[in-house]
Amino acid sequence: MDSYGIIGWPLGHTMSPTLHNWGFNQLGIDGKYQPYPVEPTGLASFMETVRSTPIQGLSVTIPHKQTVMAYLDHITDRAQAVGAVNTLYWDGDMLCGENTDVIGIIAPLNDLADLPQSAMVLGAGGAARAALAGFKELGIPRICISNRTEAKAAALADEFSVKVIPWEKRMDESPQLICNTTPLGMSGDFQSHTPWDASRFPEECVAYDIVYNPLRTRFLSEAEEAGCSTISGLEMFLHQGLAQFKLWTGQDMNPTAARQLLLDALR
Ligand code: ATR
Distance (Å, whole) CA 82 – CA 232: 22
Instruction: List residues with catalytic annotation.
Output: 65
The residue whose C-alpha atom lies closest to atom 18 belonging to ligand 1 is: 149
Dihedral sign of CA atoms 37, 42, 43, 46 in order: negative
Radius of gyration of the chain (CA): 18
User: Is residue 212 pLDDT above 90, yes or no?
Assistant: yes
Distances (CA, A) of 248 to 68, 90, 97, 178: 18, 8, 12, 32
Q: How confident is the model at residue 218 (pLDDT cuts 50, 70, 90)?
A: very high
User: Is residue 158 pLDDT above 90, yes or no?
Assistant: yes
Q: Report the topology of domain 103-231.
A: Rossmann fold (3.40.50)
What CATH number does the domain located at 2-98+235-266 have?
Answer: 3.40.50.10860
Task: With H, G, I as helix, E, B as strand and everything else as coil, classify residue 129.
Answer: helix
Q: What is the pLDDT of residues 180-200, one digit of tens each?
A: 999 999 999 999 999 999 999
Q: What is the pLDDT of residues 8-32, one digit of tens each?
A: 999 988 999 999 999 999 999 999 9
Q: Across residues 236-251, what is the average pLDDT?
A: 98
In the chain, the percentage of residues whose pLDDT exceeds 90 is 98
User: Is residue 23 classed exposed, middle or buried when 0-12, 13-18 and 19+ CB atoms within 10 A define those classes?
Assistant: buried
Q: What is the pLDDT of residues 57-73, one digit of tens each?
A: 999 999 999 999 999 99
- How far apart are the CA of 183 and the centre of ligand 1, in A? 6
Please, are residues 257 and 99 in contact by the beta-carbon 8 Å criterion?
no
Q: Confirm or reject: Cβ of 86 under 6 Å from ligand 1.
A: no
The residue whose C-alpha atom lies closest to atom 31 belonging to ligand 1 is: 182
CB neighbour list of residue 257: distance below 8 Å, 6 or more residues apart: 26
Q: What is the pLDDT of residues 52-111, one digit of tens each?
A: 998 999 999 999 999 999 999 999 999 999 999 999 999 999 999 999 999 999 999 999
Q: How confident is the model at residue 5 (pLDDT cuts 50, 70, 90)?
A: very high
**Cis peptide bond upstream of 10, omega within 30:** yes
Q: Confirm or reject: Cβ of 186 under 6 Å from ligand 1.
A: no
In the chain, the percentage of residues whose pLDDT exceeds 70 is 100
The pLDDT value recorded for residue 12 is: 86
Please, are residues 228 and 200 in contact by the beta-carbon 8 Å criterion?
no
Q: How confident is the model at residue 267 (pLDDT cuts 50, 70, 90)?
A: confident
Q: Confirm or reject: Cβ of 125 under 6 Å from ligand 1.
A: yes
The pLDDT value recorded for residue 13 is: 85
Q: Where do the domains of the chain lie?
A: 2-98+235-266, 103-231
Q: Confirm or reject: Cβ of 233 under 6 Å from ligand 1.
A: no
Distance (Å, whole) CA 123 – CA 59: 23
Q: Across residues 153-174, what is the average pLDDT?
A: 98
Task: With H, G, I as helix, E, B as strand and everything else as coil, classify residue 87.
Answer: strand
Assembly ipTM:
0.96
Q: Across residues 28-56, what is the average pLDDT?
A: 97
Q: Which of 176, 173, 185, 175 is nearest to 233 (CA)?
A: 185
The pLDDT value recorded for residue 118 is: 98
